[in-house]
Amino acid sequence: MNTNINLLLHADEESKRGQKRVKRLNFIAVMFLIGVGAISLLTFLSTQIINPSAILREQQDVIGKISQFQDVGVKLFVLNNRIDNVEKVLGKRIDLSKELSGLLAKIPSRLFIEDLEVDDKTVRLTAQSTSLLAIGELINNLTDMVHKKEIISSLILNTLVFDESKNSYQVSIRADF
């Protein structure tokens, strides 16, 4: 048997290695502790240097200004919505002055208009003339407009009456746009 073998010596080397590891871990733990403490101290000092009450006042001022502009923003939104709706209605609306001027241009000069009613979709016309030719010319002009789809889309002849006392003819017509 060999007397040079010392089993305890190996145990001392392993314990020294374990102690070195423990020292390293202790050093790392202490450094982390010092680092966390330093960061906490810096955070505390920065919050004390920067006045939190001033920040809160500034925050309240900004919130007040935003709420003030919020009321204006709501009013502008409602106003823009109404303007858009009015534009839609005006876009769908028929220009009655243009339509009526085109319609009245087709009426013969020998015809006297007694009544003219205008709705958004219809025109009711009552006219009188001593000549049946003028009434025939009016009816022909209006039926041509319906066929060409110029202004009116349909034409209804309501009445055609001869008044013996006035010696004149009276016609009542309804036209749809």
- pLDDT tens for 36-60 read 999 999 988 887 777 767 778 888 8
User: What are 84's two structure tokens?
Assistant: 């858009």
- pLDDT tens for 107-157 read 888 888 898 888 878 889 899 998 888 888 988 988 888 888 888 888 888
How far is it, in rounded angstroms, from Cα 158 to Cα 136? 14
Where would I find the beta strands (DSSP E) of 23-134? 112-118, 122-129
- pLDDT tens for 59-114 read 888 888 888 788 788 888 999 999 999 999 888 877 777 777 888 888 888 888 89
Section 2-10 average pLDDT: 57
Where would I find the beta strands (DSSP E) of the chain? 112-118, 122-129, 154-163, 168-176
How many other C-beta atoms can be found within 10 angstroms of the C-beta atom of residue 123? 21
What are the helix (H) ranges across the chain? 7-49, 52-92, 96-104, 132-148
Q: Taking the C-alpha atoms of 92, 97, 99 and 104 in order, what is their torsion angle to the nearest 10 degrees?
A: 160
Q: Tell me which residue of 81, 140, 84 sits closest to 107, measured CA to CA.
A: 140
The chain-wide mean pLDDT, for the chain, equals 85
Q: Tell me which residue of 55, 152, 153 sits closest to 106, measured CA to CA.
A: 152
- Residue 33 pLDDT level (bands cut at 50, 70, 90): very high
